[in-house]
Amino acid sequence: MKVKKRAEKKASEREVSSKEVTLLKRGSFAVAVLILVFAVFVAPLSAAPTTTWIPIQGSISVSSSPSGATIHLDGSVGQSLTTPYTFANLLIGTHALVLTLDGYEIWSADVLVLAGETLPVDAIMTPIPTTGSISVSSAPSGVTLVLDGLVDQSVTTPYTFANLSIGAHTLELALEGYEAWSTNVQVSAGGISPVHAIMTPIPTPPPTKGAIFVNSSPSGATIELDTSDGSFDGLSVTTPYTFTEISPGSSTITLALDGYECWSTNVWVSAGETSPVHATLTPYHVKINEIMYNLPGLDRNREWIELFNGGPEDINITGWKFFEYFTRGQGSMVIPAGGYAIVAVDATTFLNEHSACNCTVIESGFWLSNIGDSLTLKDASSVIVDEVSYHNSWGASRNGKTLELNLTGGWEESLVDDGTPCNPNSVTT
């Protein structure tokens, strides 16, 4: 009888509810069977008098950032559960965990449940992007960008427009000297739409005008320009200067500078080219020609200087000076071409001593050193016309002679007494 009861007990211990077996997950079934076999067959054979139960369940604690996400465990469809939440009494093994939340991407993971343990799961939810970007480059770079009609001169290529609404956008590129460029760009959520524009240069038409560059030595000469289209009409300009937009053909350049002769030339202008003009200006032909600086006896009010106009035109010396301005004594203030003028300390004294002199005689307050001095002839604009520094070692000191300018630009003692006022010099070398 006792044997029969012991057999019935063992049979009951080996019996496993089919309902409990069907609840085991496929991944956990083998483990559960091994545990049951151990409990039924191995434990009774142990020498220990008591039975130890091994857990076959664990837990998952699920949280999310942000919270409130709907939890789907092993594809379950039932009561809606949201984070934070803890699933208890789960069979050990792998479970599929999925979280969903409006405005965020789906979050999923396979979670391994261990026996008797609670596994923490913290899901960081990723927002579903609602904007996109356009990355723009160009050849050449530095091109101004216009997006959807909005202009910002500070925005040039390369540049990335961020946080743009999803959909079509109009992009325009503008660069001086290049044709306008535009396109429509489709922006997707979270995406970057690349755009590369190759700008096309605007064809340059062939030139129809030319230019003239005018320079002079010395500079500062006033320029008069006559072209095939007429005279230059504008503010007075001086050298150096460049005239632009000149019609092809012959033009005339005329330069004027106080203290220098008028200068003129014709220049040919070609379309697309700059014609250079350089003028070396010639000083007035009025020269200091003869100096009486140290007469015999008393020379007070008897000193004089002769000027000679070797140029082709008459020259008005009104407003000219050595040390003080000239004032008229005899004749006009105009020295004719090839003519002379005497500048005396005292015009009356000079004419009394040189009654045969019939040229212009003018007066200016000065006195000449008997040792040597510097003379500077200036015109009405104080431009230096001529200058000389003489010395008594050159001769003509208290012997009734003068210093005369020779043909080579040097100075010599006159060959005749009293010099040659109002007449050609006696020295010829």
How would you write the pLDDT of the chain (429 residues) with one tens digit per residue? Answer: 333 333 343 333 333 232 232 333 333 433 333 334 334 444 444 444 555 666 789 999 999 999 999 999 998 867 789 999 999 999 999 999 999 999 999 999 999 999 999 999 999 999 998 899 999 999 999 999 999 998 887 899 999 999 999 999 999 999 999 999 999 999 999 999 999 999 999 998 899 999 999 999 999 999 999 987 876 766 789 999 999 999 999 999 999 887 677 899 999 999 999 999 999 988 768 999 999 999 998 888 999 999 999 887 899 999 999 988 899 889 999 999 889 999 999 999 999 999 999 999 999 988 899 999 999 999 998 988 899 999 999 999 999 999 999 877 889 999 999 999 999 999 976
d(CA 177, CA 315): 55
The pLDDT value given to residue 351:
95
pLDDT at 186: 96
Domain total of the chain: 4
259 shares a domain with 292: no
Residue 204 pLDDT: 87
**What integer pLDDT is reported at residue 309 of this predicted model?**
92
- Is 66 inside a domain boundary? yes
Instruction: Looking at the structure, tell me whether residues 80 and 120 fall in a common domain.
Output: yes
Q: Answer with the one of 260, 280, 300 that is the final residue of a domain.
A: 280
Q: Which residues contact 417 (CB under 8 A, 6 or more apart)?
A: 400, 401
**Residues 316 and 381 both lie in one domain:** yes
> Residues 135, 67: one domain?
no
Query: d(Cα 157, Cα 170) in Å, to the nearest integer?
Result: 16
Q: CATH code at 164?
A: 2.60.40.10
Do 144 and 45 lie in one domain? The reply is no
Beta bridge partners of 217: 280
What are the backbone angles phi and psi of residue 206, rounded to the nearest 5°?
-60, 140
Chain centroid offset of residue 403 CA: 63
What is the helix (H) or strand (E) element at residue 347, kind and residue range?
helix 347-353
* Distance between first and last Cα of the chain: 173
Domain assignment of residue 240, yes or no: yes
In a domain, 429, yes or no: no
Which amino acid is it at 417? D
Residue 46: the pLDDT is 44
- DSSP letter for each residue of 387-420: EEEEEGGGS-SSSS--EEE-TTS-EEE-SSTT--
Residue that finishes a domain, picked among 171, 198, 225:
198
Output the domain CATH number for residue 122. Answer: 2.60.40.1120
DSSP string, 8-60: HHHHHHH---HHHHHHS-HHHHHHHHHHHHIIIIIGGGSS-SS-PPPP-EEEE
Structural domain containing residue 318:
286-413
Q: What is the pLDDT of residue 41?
A: 41
